[in-house]
Chain A
Amino acid sequence: MTRRQGLIAILWLWSAALFVLPLIIVLKISVAETRLGVPPYTAFFDAAHHVTANTENYSRLFTDSLYVKAYLGSLKTAFIATLIALLMGYPMAYAIARAPAHRRDLWLLLVMLPFWTSFLVRIYAWIGLLRPSGIINTVLQALGIIDAPLHMLNTNGAVYLGIVYTYLPFMVLPLYARLEKLDASLLEAARDLGATPWRAFCAVTLPLSMPGIVAGCLLVFIPAVGEFVIPELLGGPNTLMIGRVLWNEFFTNRDWPVASAVTAVLLILLVAPIVWVQRLQARGDLAP
């Protein structure tokens, strides 16, 4: 084996052990049964070397309405939050791309910085703002705008807010990368031909920034679907999301096989968007 092959082999071994193998084991345990003991699932082969696999866990996912509702709830929540993030992030990215060249890096750093500060702290900050005796309610009551505290924490709205707040930088970055490369002479041409600024935006800027829109939406949507911490801390008891169900199956019910089946189905739901992201990545559409 040459040195070159050796280096490639190291990477393969690492990825196989910590990426490929884990997913195979998830599939394996998703067809096992729960049992008391360590580990809390039955083996793939029984003592007589017969395969013990069954698809009971999967049929439970599709017959028990809790799971179906949680998957749909996750997709809905992720979709709404992604849309809000796009509407907020697009003008931000546009403004940065139109800023003087020497300022752009600074603006971009300012947008990215919160993403790198502790995620839990940022969610915690919103609890302090939103809760009934929190800062927003205290201020509004002091100003006489409301009489009784608004119920904001532990609602679906708070979950959308948390997701948008957390992932907004992911939306801005790829949008900026596209908008920054946009050829300004195309816009000038459109205006010279008599297009209003809005028309020029719709006919030139928007279509040309489409790869950025797709990339940004995927980068927000995919992690949002599997989100656990945000619905757990900001959502209410009725906020059903699959990440939360998975967590409870695993930690509260200690039902590893069902948790694995939930994971496998979530992965199947997300395979298409994840592969899509990787193709954008390979083409260099994700980072500026």
Chain B
Amino acid sequence: MKPKRFSWPGAALIAGLVFLYLPLVVVIVYSFNESRLVTVWTGFSTRWYGELMADSQLLRAAGVSLTVALLSATIATVLGTLAGFVLTRFGFFRGRALLVGTIAAPLVMPEVITGLSLLLVFVALEQGFAWMPGRGILTIVLAHASLTMSYVAIVVQARLAGMERDIEEAAADLGATPATVFRTITLPLIFPAVAAGWLLAFVLSLDDLVIASFVAGPQSTTLPMMVFSSIRLGVSPKINALAAILVLLTAVLLVVAARVQRGSKPAESSAG
């Protein structure tokens, strides 16, 4: 098959990619528009970026979001790696199928269900045991960790399943304890997947609106919550600038994730 020949699927792929990227390109271009009217181009300017940096409320929300993302991604990575390891290396144990189910379910569950049900647990814990009174950053961290841990588990599981076990077995034969084998052999080998999992969890947490809206306390507004309430009021050049920053930030993080993950493995499994 000649690569240059016209094909309908090829044209559909290009059209699909244009469809996926064009809106983002438009937002980024217009974030440099001088005019307050979002559609009329009057000249190049970075003034909206300046105004963005002067918005203290927005910066505080960004701080909350980054804190939540850092903490929840770290918890999710520890638990997700553990889950990936247990599900690929422990063979059969009672309740395994059910555990697989509860770990994978949050991946497809509509966010409104996850958000409402987690909030109700936090309220019940507050009523019953006075845990996490008023809710705040901690409840968002736990909620995000419970969602993103599933993504980490999938990435790590795919890596472990596609890996030869001969080195691990050799180390065990030579007398290494399971903990030593894990620390000195398994973990370094799966590290690219673990790091990619952390980055994915971080990005997902940074992006979440619905779950955070349910479980956040009145004092802890995240960046997506602020963006959502200002989008409801209409389109503004400042939001264009913020959108451009968010797009570029996630794009950079994901290219890094893809690079890291590809680090030492065949290119079969991917992030999804």
Pair from one complex: yes
Q: Which residues of A contact B (CB under 8 A)?
A: 3-4, 7-8, 10-12, 14-15, 17-23, 25-26, 29, 39, 88-89, 91-92, 94-96, 98, 100, 105, 107-114, 116-129, 131, 133-135, 138, 165, 168-170, 172-173, 218-219, 222-223, 225-229, 233, 243, 246-247, 250-251, 256, 259-260, 263, 266-267, 270, 273-275, 277-278, 281-282, 286-288
Q: Quick check: A287 and B158 within 8 Å, CB to CB?
A: yes
Q: Please name the 3 residue pairs, one residue from A and one from B, whose CB atoms are nearest each other, closest first.
A: A226-B110, A22-B117, A91-B12
Q: Does B130 lie at the interface of the complex (its beta carbon under 8 Å from any beta carbon of A)?
A: no
Knowing A11-B82, A121-B27, the reply to whether A225 touches B110 (Cβ < 8 A) is yes
Q: When A124-B27, A128-B26 are in contact, do A12 and B13 touch as well, CB less than 8 Å?
A: no
Q: Find the A residue at minimum CB distance from B240.
A: A128
Task: Give Cα A14–Cα B206 distance, bound, in whole angstroms.
Answer: 22
Does B23 interact with chain A (Cβ within 8 Å)?
A: yes
For the complex, would chain B's binding face be called helix, strand, loop or mixed by DSSP majority?
Answer: helix
Bound-state CA distance A282–B146 (Å) is 20
Q: Which of A18, A112, A288 counts the most chain B CB atoms within 10 A?
A: A18
**Distance, CA A19 to CA B12, complexed state (A):** 40
B102 within 8 A of A: yes
Given A11-B79, A127-B231, also A113-B254 (CB < 8 A):
yes
Q: B113 to A129, Cβ gap below 8 A?
A: no
B44 at the interface (CB under 8 A from A): no
Q: Which residues of B contact A (CB under 8 A)?
A: 1, 3, 7-10, 12-13, 16-17, 19-21, 23-24, 26-27, 30, 38-40, 79, 82-83, 85-86, 90, 93, 95, 97, 99-114, 116-118, 120-121, 123-124, 127, 142-143, 146, 149, 154, 158, 178-179, 200, 203, 206-207, 209-210, 213-214, 224, 227-228, 231-232, 235, 239-240, 243, 246-247, 250-251, 254, 258, 262, 267-272
- What are 8 A-B contacts with C-beta separation under 8 Å? A3-B179, A95-B9, A116-B203, A124-B227, A226-B113, A263-B117, A274-B108, A288-B272
Docked complex Cα distance between A15 and B145 (Å)? 11
Known: A14-B79, A19-B102, A25-B120. A121 touches B235 (CB 8 A): no
A19 to B207, CA, bound (A): 21
Q: Which residues of the other chain, A, contact B103 by a CB distance below 8 angstroms? A: 11, 15
Closest A residue to B257 by CB, please name it.
A116
- A25 interface neighbour in B121, B240, B246, Cβ under 8 Å: B121
Beta-carbon contact of B99 and A15 below 8 Å: yes
Contacting residues, chain A, for B17 (C-beta < 8 A)? 110-111
CB-based contact B13/A124 at 8 Å: no
**A224 CB to closest chain B CB, in angstroms?**
9
Known contacts A18-B146, A116-B254; A134/B82 CB under 8 A? no
User: How far is the CB of B71 from the nearest CB of chain A, in Å?
Assistant: 15
Which residues of chain A have C-beta atoms less than 8 A from B9's C-beta? 91-92, 94-95, 98
Contact status B270-A222, CB under 8 Å: no
> Are A129 and B23 in contact, CB atoms less than 8 angstroms apart?
yes
**Which single residue of chain B is at the shortest CB-CB distance from A98?**
B9
**Most chain-B Cβ atoms within 10 A of its Cβ — which of A26, A121, A275?**
A121
Are the C-beta atoms of B120 and A22 separated by less than 8 Å?
A: yes
Contacts of B213 in A (CB 8 A): 251
Within the complex, the shortest CB–CB distance from B140 to chain A, in Å, comes to 13
Interchain nearest-CB distance for B7 vs A (Å):
7
Which residues does chain B contribute within 8 Å of A23, judged by CB atoms?
Answer: 117
**Which of A4, A120, A219, A223 contacts B209 (CB under 8 A)?**
A120
Bound CA span A273–B109, Å = 10
A117-B250, A251-B213, A270-B109 given; 18 more Cβ-contact pairs under 8 Å: A7-B90, A8-B86, A8-B93, A11-B83, A19-B146, A39-B123, A91-B16, A112-B272, A120-B228, A125-B27, A172-B16, A173-B270, A222-B110, A260-B116, A267-B113, A281-B100, A281-B104, A287-B270
Task: Return the contact of B100 from the options A29, A105, A229, A278 (Cβ within 8 A).
Answer: A278
